[in-house]
């Protein structure tokens, strides 16, 4: 049984049919990448999975249970964490307080402290800035905080939405190294990313979205070697 199963998912925004019956699954231990142009429906897909949007049709199953349309905090409690596009940090709270928010549903204090320490070992810059207001961090540091905060929920499945957005190339490299480390430590990841080259470089499986429809799926290495996909999404001509 897959950890996550998305079946015939449709989402409407007013008169816009943003997702048009997409289906895919994520197996435990995998990194799965959703790639596609701006407006393809990638962020909408994650938001519908994590309970931030209500699908108009279709089902989302997580750990075998139907979670379609459930409230976001109930989905987090089941073991799914979402680091959203635009980071979504609490700008007026300190870095430490943002990390505390990530663990708000947990009561296992000793384990939270261990997980917090581990997150800070992944992101040493955050350790130096624990008392700093999150809104004063650089874009790269805010992205690191968004991922670290999501990890504090100890997710079985981590949804990452555009982690490289607006960041300098060397920071993007660092973020993706950390994504690899998180995956190697056993967290399953569903990654939405416009930088298709980086996404397919860390993923096991990839799916290509175009205007709300899945148009290609397969092993990430295979997609990265496909001429049509290389031309459309990897900047290779």
pLDDT reported for residue 85? 77
pLDDT reported for residue 208? 95
| Tens digits of residue pLDDT in 16-69 | 899 999 999 999 999 999 999 888 999 999 999 999 999 999 999 999 999 999
pLDDT reported for residue 15? 84
pLDDT reported for residue 94? 96
pLDDT reported for residue 52? 93
| CATH number for the domain running over 1-30+38-79+194-237 | 3.40.50.300
Domain boundaries, the chain: 1-30+38-79+194-237
pLDDT reported for residue 75? 95
Helix 109-122 vs helix 169-184: crossing angle, to nearest 10: 140
Ranges in the chain, pLDDT < 50: none
């Amino acid at each position: 049984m897959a950890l996550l199963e998305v079946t015939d998912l449709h989402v409407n925004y007013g008169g816009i049919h943003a997702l048009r019956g997409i289906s895919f699954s994520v197996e435990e231990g995998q990194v799965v990448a959703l790639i596609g142009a701006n407006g393809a429906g990638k962020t909408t897909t994650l938001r519908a999975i994590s309970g931030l949007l209500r699908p108009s049709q279709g089902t989302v199953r997580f750990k075998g249970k139907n979670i379609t349309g459930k409230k976001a905090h109930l989905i987090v409690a089941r073991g799914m964490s979402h680091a959203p596009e635009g980071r979504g940090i609490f700008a007026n709270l300190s870095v430490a307080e943002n990390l505390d928010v990530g663990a708000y549903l947990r009561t296992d204090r000793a384990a939270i402290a261990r997980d917090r320490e581990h997150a800070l070992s992944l992101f040493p810059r955050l350790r130096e800035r624990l008392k700093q207001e999150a809104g004063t961090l650089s874009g790269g540091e805010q992205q690191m905080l968004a991922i670290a905060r999501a990890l504090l929920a100890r997710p079985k499945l981590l949804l990452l939405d555009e982690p490289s957005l607006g960041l300098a190339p060397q920071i993007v490299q660092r973020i993706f190294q950390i994504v690899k480390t998180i995956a190697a430590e056993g967290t399953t990841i569903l990654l939405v990313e416009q930088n298709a080259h980086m996404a397919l470089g860390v993923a096991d499986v990839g799916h290509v979205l175009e205007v709300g429809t899945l148009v290609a799926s397969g092993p990430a290495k295979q997609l990265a070697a496909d001429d049509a996909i290389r031309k459309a999404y990897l900047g290779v001509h």
